[in-house]
């Protein structure tokens, strides 16, 4: 891939294979059209009472219903945010103190997104006790470990549904069952950003009170997310101002992004089963080919979610491999985009050997990923394997 710099941006020339969909996705045509319609035609403020405002409010409510139906919740339990980070921050920062009279203990995991972990640090500074669960060899938080950590004074737990580096799927429903079996009042939140629209679930099947999702991971625009809040679940507001979102999340709703979110979600749910099967087949094909061509390659995790594939070439540096692939027009990464090139915290917590961590790259797919792209990636990675000097 060659980049020609212009005054304000880069024009991508030559081949472009995008295998970094866990970081963000291409906006689908339906979402782009919906967003443009809101910007150019239905641009009223949804809180305004005139006909343009009413038209905007109708579109807002339509998007809310789509998101609600997708997670199996009533419309009035979905609240729009600016994205996954805000949804997670709101749940964790404001869900915990709402229940402080019941206890002072929180459960999370050491493999959570930074939005959760940084929020937990704030609670620790305020005197809360936080237990960080560690994953098993496949990157999952086990039901037994969760049960062992659960106490009478555990007021809140936040465990992600799908890990954003390994694709490990955590048994959230088992955590919920344990809470209910012991008749505890623990509020359960899950960061479902990497699972929404990709693997089947509902808030009922998971048994959660709070659930965070984002638009730009499933071919919607950046700048929109949502938090599911089960009715009668105590949670404070993160922001203060007007009466939008039932006074829980004030501020004029970003209707173009939200409408795009709704459109993208509708398509994703319609195509979820078909896409899941196709992506699983693609991932399995890549794994077979890489194992046969690259001696010593390590596949990290079991691929619970086929949308993520984490591999390692021990003895090589992931940054060098990524640069090699990037020069050939192939986009992958070494871990979470939010870490900006830092060593993978998730792989460290899994206690993998240093050479495995240092040689790891994350490949993440979407329903638009193609076998011909996979073949180019495999051939290019093999070329890198044979030409890059080992460390």
DSSP string, 158-170: E--SB-TTT--B-
pLDDT at 336: 56
DSSP 8-state symbol, 73: -
pLDDT at 1: 35
Tell me whether residue 200 is in a domain: yes
If asked whether residues 298 and 157 sit together in one domain, one would say no
Q: Residue 76, exposed/middle/buried by CB under 10 A (0-12, 13-18, 19+)?
A: exposed
If asked whether residues 7 and 43 sit together in one domain, one would say no
Q: Residue 59, exposed/middle/buried by CB under 10 A (0-12, 13-18, 19+)?
A: buried
Three-state DSSP class for residue 227: strand
Three-state DSSP class for residue 334: coil
End-to-end CA distance of the chain: 26
Residues across the chain: 391
Q: Residue 140, exposed/middle/buried by CB under 10 A (0-12, 13-18, 19+)?
A: buried
Band of the pLDDT at 391, cuts 50, 70, 90?
confident
If asked whether residues 179 and 229 sit together in one domain, one would say yes
If asked whether residues 200 and 301 sit together in one domain, one would say no
If asked whether residues 14 and 161 sit together in one domain, one would say no
CATH of the domain at 91: 3.40.640.10
pLDDT at 343: 76
If asked whether residues 206 and 350 sit together in one domain, one would say no
Q: H helices then E strands: how many in the chain? A: 13, 14
Tell me whether residue 141 is in a domain: yes
Question: Cα–Cα distance between 231 and 222 in angstroms, integer?
Answer: 27
Tell me whether residue 371 is in a domain: yes
Cβ–Cβ < 8 Å for 95, 87? no
Cβ–Cβ < 8 Å for 190, 206? yes
Tell me whether residue 201 is in a domain: yes
State mean pLDDT over 21-32: 98
If asked whether residues 58 and 147 sit together in one domain, one would say yes
Its pTM stands at 0.93
Nearest to 128 by CA among 109, 148, 102: 102
Band of the pLDDT at 10, cuts 50, 70, 90?
very low
Q: Which residues are catalytic?
A: 338
If asked whether residues 224 and 76 sit together in one domain, one would say yes
Among 270, 302, 334, the domain-final residue is 270
Can you give the residue range of the structural domain that contains 60? Answer: 29-270
Among 214, 246, 270, the domain-final residue is 270
Handedness of CA 347, 342, 291, 370 (dihedral sign): positive
Q: Distances from the Cα of 262 to the Cαs of 29, 44, 291, 295, in angstroms?
A: 13, 18, 39, 45
Band of the pLDDT at 42, cuts 50, 70, 90?
very high
Tell me whether residue 24 is in a domain: no
Q: What is the mean pLDDT of the chain?
A: 93
Tell me whether residue 80 is in a domain: yes
Alpha helices in the chain (DSSP H): 29-40, 51-71, 84-95, 114-125, 143-149, 172-181, 203-206, 255-270, 272-293, 318-327, 345-349, 354-358, 371-387
Question: Cα–Cα distance between 23 and 6 in angstroms, integer?
Answer: 25
Percent of the chain with pLDDT over 90: 87
If asked whether residues 47 and 194 sit together in one domain, one would say yes
Asked if residue 5 has pLDDT above 90, the reply is: no
Asked if residue 6 has pLDDT above 50, the reply is: no
If asked whether residues 254 and 346 sit together in one domain, one would say no
Cβ–Cβ < 8 Å for 131, 106? yes
Tell me whether residue 125 is in a domain: yes
If asked whether residues 12 and 33 sit together in one domain, one would say no
Question: Cα–Cα distance between 92 and 214 in angstroms, integer?
Answer: 16
Question: What is the domain count for the chain?
Answer: 2
If asked whether residues 236 and 302 sit together in one domain, one would say no
Give the H/E segment covering residue 187: strand 187-191
Cβ–Cβ < 8 Å for 155, 186? yes
The pLDDT tens digits for 44-64 are 999 999 999 999 999 999 999
CATH of the domain at 383: 3.90.1150.10
Asked if residue 337 has pLDDT above 60, the reply is: no
Rg (CA), the chain: 22
Tell me whether residue 382 is in a domain: yes
Nearest to 56 by CA among 41, 72, 44, 74: 44
Tally Cβ neighbours within 10 Å of residue 152.
Answer: 11
Band of the pLDDT at 102, cuts 50, 70, 90?
confident
Cβ–Cβ < 8 Å for 353, 298? no
Among 270, 305, 326, the domain-final residue is 270
Three-state DSSP class for residue 310: strand
Question: Cα–Cα distance between 188 and 204 in angstroms, integer?
Answer: 12
Cβ–Cβ < 8 Å for 131, 105? yes
């Amino acid at each position: 891939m060659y980049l020609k710099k212009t005054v304000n941006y880069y024009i991508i020339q030559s081949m472009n294979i995008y295998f970094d969909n866990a970081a963000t996705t291409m906006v689908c045509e339906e979402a782009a059209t919906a967003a443009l319609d809101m910007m150019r035609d239905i641009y009223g403020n949804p809180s305004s009472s005139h006909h343009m405002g009413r038209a905007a409010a109708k579109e807002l409510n339509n998007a809310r219903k789509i998101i609600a139906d997708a997670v199996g919740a009533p419309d009035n339990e979905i609240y729009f945010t600016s994205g996954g980070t805000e949804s997670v921050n709101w749940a964790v920062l404001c869900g915990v103190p709402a229940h402080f009279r019941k206890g002072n203990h929180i459960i999370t995991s050491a493999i959570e997104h930074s939005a959760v972990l940084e929020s937990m640090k704030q609670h620790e500074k305020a005197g809360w006790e936080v237990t960080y669960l560690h994953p098993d060899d496949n990157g999952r938080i086990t039901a037994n470990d969760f049960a062992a950590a659960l106490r009478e004074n555990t007021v809140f737990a936040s465990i992600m549904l799908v890990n954003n580096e390994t694709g490990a799927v955590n048994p959230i429903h088992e955590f919920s069952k344990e809470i209910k079996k012991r008749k505890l009042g623990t509020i359960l939140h899950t960061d479902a950003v990497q699972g929404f629209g990709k693997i089947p679930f509902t808030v009922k099947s998971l048994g959660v009170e709070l659930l965070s999702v984002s638009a730009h991971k499933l071919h919607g625009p950046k700048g929109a997310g949502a938090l599911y809040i089960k009715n009668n679940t105590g949670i404070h507001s993160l922001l203060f101002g007007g009466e939008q979102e039932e006074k829980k999340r004030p501020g004029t709703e970003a209707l173009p992004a939200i409408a795009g979110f709704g459109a993208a979600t509708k398509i994703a749910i319609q195509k979820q089963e078909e896409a899941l099967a196709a992506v699983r087949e693609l991932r399995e094909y890549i794994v077979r080919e890489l194992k046969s061509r690259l001696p010593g390659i390590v596949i990290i995790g079991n691929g619970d979610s086929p949308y993520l594939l984490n591999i390692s070439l021990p003895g090589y540096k992931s940054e060098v491999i990524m640069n090699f692939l990037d020069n050939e027009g192939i986009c992958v990464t070494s871990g979470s985009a939010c870490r900006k090139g830092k060593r993978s915290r998730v792989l460290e917590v899994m206690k993998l050997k240093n050479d495995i961590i240092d040689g790891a790259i994350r490949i993440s797919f979407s329903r638009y990923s193609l076998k011909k792209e996979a073949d180019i990636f495999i051939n290019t990675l093999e070329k890198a394997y044979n030409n890059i000097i080992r460390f």
